[in-house]
Copies of this chain bind each other. A is one copy, B any other.
Amino acid sequence: MVQSMPDASPAKWHLAHTTWFFEEFVLARFDRAHRWRDERYRVLFNSYYDAVGPRHARSQRGVLSRPSLEEVAAWRRWVDERVLALVGRADEEALATIVLGTHHEQQHQELLLTDAKHALSSNPLQPAYAARAAPAGAHGAPPLAWVPFAEAVVEIGHGGGSFAFDNETPAHRALVGAFALGSRLVTNAEYAAFIDDGGYEEPALWLSDGWAEVRARGWSAPLYWERRGEGWTEFGLYGSRAIDAHAPVSHVSFYEADAYARWAGARLPTEAEWERAASQRVVEGNFVESGRLAPAAAGSGLAQLFGDAWEWTASAYLPYPRFRPLRGALGEYNGKFMSGQMVLRGGSCLSPADHLRATYRNFFPPAARWQVTGIRLARDD
């Protein structure tokens, strides 16, 4: 039930909200026999859909001691049964909405873990979510190499034939200049060198808004890092432990990713550059199914495009040319957030594997740090 900040929701709320999604958008629209389980849940567990009606304030999700976990679980079973019963007789739009609901649920599976991590980190006891830490990697990170790409007009976005969110469409052509992409994510050791070199004290490395955040919030390291003697510890789902030098740095904001890149004489890739590199690749990597629950050292080649840590891009989250949001209230799913946020690509170690694809566009405000967000470099070639 803990809500440790307005952005992070209690685990029970995630369970209830994903249930609400199916009742509101599937059962109420497509099941003629539908009667609301409890009309008041429509307000309590609506996240941000203005067209659906009023909603309980986001920052107050932690006060909902009722309905109890048992009541929410019963409601979930009730909804599940009815959705499953509907599948057999559902039309195309109903089926598409059920599929959307399952992808929505996958997003909340990841958020449930990142929010629980934040909640546990807010407790001075620093309790661990999982009892036993992941085994250390079998190998260190390979040296950073640069993978070159020549200028080309490429197709960006999702062309149909399988599920995609509306914000990935339509597929369209874009001119992408020559560039080189870093072969792996930036490691904890590399990021620690940035800190040791005074990265957090040098305004010339930072965007103006980023520097303002650094000073207002007193940032001097990634979220969850703590100086311990000569080194650093990092809080995670295994509790607090020494950072893994070879694993990718995570829990950095866009501003930190951008400042690091400038310090390293490089830059962040645009989302078109990233997609160009990823579009021919198999989606494989360190996902939540691995059970590792933390980023791991890279393998060889162009590594870690998927999994490990979401990769901040240099691209603002904006509509693709000729973008049309879904009709009705579901049009609020993605489209209305297309200002003030940055695009992230590739997924993290807490993402479900089959939730991801090369065209997938995640987005967060540039100061957000509680997601598993890391850094891949690019440079002009």
Contacts and interface: CB of A to CB of B under 8 A. Distances in A.
A174 B177 CA distance: 9
Interface hub of A123, A338, A380 (most chain B Cβ within 10 A): A123
Given A50-B204, A340-B209, A340-B340, A56 B124 contact: yes
Instruction: Identify the 6 closest CB pairs spanning chains A and B, nearest first.
Output: A316-B316, A50-B203, A175-B175, A208-B336, A63-B122, A66-B127
A52 to B, nearest CB: 11
A60 interface: yes
B124 A44 contact: yes
A107 to B, nearest CB: 17
Interface in A331-350: 331-332, 336-340
A206 interface: yes
A40 interface: yes
Contact of A173 (B3, B175, B209): B175
Interface in A151-178: 153, 172-175, 177
Interface of A: 1-4, 40, 43-44, 48, 50-51, 56, 60, 62-67, 119-120, 122-125, 127, 153, 172-175, 177, 203-204, 206-211, 254-255, 258, 314-316, 318-319, 321-322, 331-332, 336-340, 366, 380
A48 B67 CA distance: 33
A3 B332 CA distance: 31
A123 B337 contact: no
B204 A51 contact: yes
A153 to B, nearest CB: 6
B340 A366 contact: yes
A336 B206 contact: yes
A2 B44 CA distance: 16
Given A204-B51, A339-B209, A65 B153 contact: no
A123 B12 CA distance: 15
Nearest to A314: B318
A123 B366 contact: no
Nearest to A205: B336
Contacts of A209: 337, 339-340
A122 B314 contact: no
Contact of A63 (B44, B64, B65, B119): B119
A14 to B, nearest CB: 15
A72 B40 CA distance: 34
A74 to B, nearest CB: 16
A56 B175 CA distance: 44
Contacts of A210: 339
A56 B122 CA distance: 10
Nearest to A44: B124
B208 A322 contact: no
Contact of A339 (B50, B64, B332, B366): B366
Given A63-B122, A124-B56, A207 B336 contact: yes
